[in-house]
Amino acid sequence: MKVDTLTLKKAQDNVKSAITRVKFLPERSRIFMDGSNLLLIPATSVVNTINYIAETAGELAARQMSYKFGKVIRRETAKIFSRGTSSETR
């Protein structure tokens, strides 16, 4: 199936837009998109999603999504560990 350039560009823009609004909560294994849509999504689904984005919207969009997931996971993990450390010192 061949996709025209305009459709592909629109898909890439939609992915880029969604990437900027992703909030991942690893302690709950959920993703909030746009602050409202709650999705239960295990790690394998994240990998499959990134793979699908690579196939449909291109490698750059997939790399951006991977970066966004990684960045948010690192930040949330740091919060979890900092809470654990602060409660241990009390």
pLDDT of residue 37: 44
8-state DSSP, 36:
T
- Coil, strand, or helix at residue 30? strand
User: What is the H or E stretch that residue 63 is in?
Assistant: helix 59-89
When pLDDT is cut at 50, 70 and 90, the band that residue 4 belongs to is low
| Whether pTM exceeds 0.85 | no
User: According to the model, what pLDDT value does residue 36 have?
Assistant: 46
- Taking the C-alpha atoms of residue 18 and residue 79, their distance in angstroms, rounded to an integer, is 24
Q: How far, in Å, CA of 88 to CA of 83, rounded?
A: 9
- Give 27-84 pLDDT, tens digit per residue: 555 555 555 444 445 566 677 777 788 888 888 888 888 887 777 767 766 776 776 5
Whether the CB-CB separation of 22 and 33 falls below 8 Å is answered with: yes
Are residues 11 and 57 in contact, defined by beta-carbon separation less than 8 angstroms?
A: yes
